[in-house]
Amino acid sequence: MKMPAGLDIERLYDEHARPLYAFLLNFTRDEADTRDLLQEIFIKLAREPKLLAGVREERPFLIRLAHNAAIDLMRRRGTRERTKENFAAEMVSPFAPAGDPDEKVFRDELAEALAELPEEQRAVVHLKLWGELTFEEIAGALDISPNTAASRYRYGIDKLRDRLRPIYEEMK
């Protein structure tokens, strides 16, 4: 079986699946949900190749699809509060396991602190720090203004700083 002409889904996967996975995992904190959402996005692209026609920057566009899919999942699942409660009990860290004990503690704390951020701030912080997108690209991906993206980032970083200050100072 071959893909429809004009759409290289394998190239799209190889170039974008990793950052999409990280973004979705930071959103859902669940491996199975992340896999479902990732598959849903790529199937959508495979079924409707014209979605990418005229798209200049693929990454922000795909992030937008991922963000919408994640929001839809949250709505289907129920209230955001319930999901947050689940985070505390069985959340999967979006960070790679660390060998160094201090680094492990820091990553665990960071994962928890990120989970406590409001979704809109968490999305911007993630895309800026780990997605390496500019505020303009984040604004395009999340359908907000660049100023809103910058302010959400600033609020999110300040909360993380307050939360992680003790451990960060200790590690310096």
Partner 1 sequence: MKPDDFEQKLSRQPMRQIPGEWRAEILDACRVSSVERREPERFLPSTLVSRLSTIFWPHPKAWAGLAAVWILIFAVDFSMRDTTPVLAEKAAPPSPEVIVELKQQQRMLAELIGAGQAREAEVPRFLPQPRSERVEIMMT
Binding site for partner 1 (CB under 8 A): 1-4, 9-10, 13-14, 17-18, 21-22, 25, 31, 35, 38-39, 42-43, 45-47, 92-96, 106-107, 110, 129-130, 150, 157, 160-161, 164, 168
Whether 24 and 70 have beta carbons less than 8 Å apart is answered as yes
CB of 152 to partner 1, least distance (A): 13
**C-alpha to C-alpha distance for 79 and 68, rounded to whole angstroms:** 16
| 54 exposure class (CB count in 10 Å sphere: 0-12, 13-18, 19+) | exposed
Q: Which is nearer to partner 1, 21 or 155 (CB)?
A: 21
**C-alpha to C-alpha distance for 164 and 159, rounded to whole angstroms:** 9
Whether 12 and 45 have beta carbons less than 8 Å apart is answered as yes
Straight-line distance from the first to the last Cα atom of the chain, in angstroms, rounded to the nearest whole number = 55
Whether 115 and 91 have beta carbons less than 8 Å apart is answered as yes
CB of 64 to partner 1, least distance (A): 19
Q: Which is nearer to partner 1, 10 or 143 (CB)?
A: 10
Q: Which is nearer to partner 1, 10 or 75 (CB)?
A: 10
Q: Which is nearer to partner 1, 4 or 79 (CB)?
A: 4
CB of 130 to partner 1, least distance (A): 6
CB of 88 to partner 1, least distance (A): 19
Q: What is the phi/psi pair of residue 96, to 5°?
A: -65, 150
Q: Which is nearer to partner 1, 69 or 160 (CB)?
A: 160
CB of 74 to partner 1, least distance (A): 20
